[in-house]
Amino acid sequence: MGVDNHSPIQHLQRQIDEIQRVAIQDEKNFVQRLQITERRIDICLAQIRYHEEATLPKILGQGSGTVILGAILTIVGSVYLAFADDTYKTFSALAGVLRDLGVTL
């Protein structure tokens, strides 16, 4: 854009008009991107709510037995390590009683 030496006021007015057009377009772009971002956030929050309501309880429900069994085995293993000889004798006696009752292991 060349400088108009004859009318600097018109030149400044054209520059101001151009800046206004660019500012208006930037505002429109910003509003559109903000709306798109808000939609994406809404979708993400909906997916999170779905997983909280449906998936998470299902996963926790399926894994609770495994967690409980793991905890019990950890406790039994700790007792065995702390009192190995006594624990061996106790479980041997229990196995003998069960064998006498006809229960197979």
pLDDT band at residue 54 under the 50/70/90 scheme: confident
DSSP characters for 24-71?
Answer: HHHHHHHHHHHHHHHHHHHHHHHHHHHIIIIIHHHHHHHHHHHHHHHH
Task: Give the model confidence (pLDDT) of 65-93 as tens digits.
Answer: 788 888 898 998 888 888 888 888 888 89
CA distance 32 to 18: 21
Stronger pLDDT, 6 or 18, i.e. the higher one: 18
State the chain's mean pLDDT as an integer. Answer: 85
The H-or-E segment that residue 78 falls in is helix 56-82
Residue 31 has pLDDT above 70, yes or no: yes
CA distance 95 to 83: 18
Residue 40 has pLDDT above 80, yes or no: yes
Q: What single DSSP character describes residue 91?
A: H
Q: How far is CA 98 from CA 80, 92, 101, 103, in A?
A: 20, 10, 5, 5
What pLDDT is stored for residue 10 in this prediction?
93
